[in-house]
Amino acid sequence: MDAATLEIFGLIAGAITSMGFLPQIYKGYKTKKMIDVSYFMPIVLAIGMTMWLMYGIFLGAFAIIIANAFGVFCCLCLISMKKIYS
């Protein structure tokens, strides 16, 4: 696989995994209820994804940077929504 194809593959993989956050964010926004969401899960994920983000920055790996920046943003949204709606 050449570098461009590999980068596209990474971007697609990041997009697919990052989309997993969207249903929870949408449901929380619509219902204004976050009882089923713990603080632990998004905090741990945010820490791990921040570390992956830093790793991607050091490598200059665009796909890793984009996927994990979006993931951290989603985790912060969930944490904020949990705080606001609880």
CA-nearest of 35, 43, 46, 33 to 73 is 46
In angstroms, the CA 4 to CA 19 distance is 23
Q: Which domains does the chain have, with CATH numbers?
A: 36-86 (1.20.1280.290)
Query: Which token pair is 14?
Result: 């990041």
For 20-39, the pLDDT digits (tens) are 999 999 999 999 999 988 99
For 52-69, the pLDDT digits (tens) are 999 999 999 999 999 999
Residues 30-69 as b/e (b if ≥16 CB within 10 A, e otherwise) read eeeebeebeeeebeebbeebeebbeebeeeebebbbbbbb
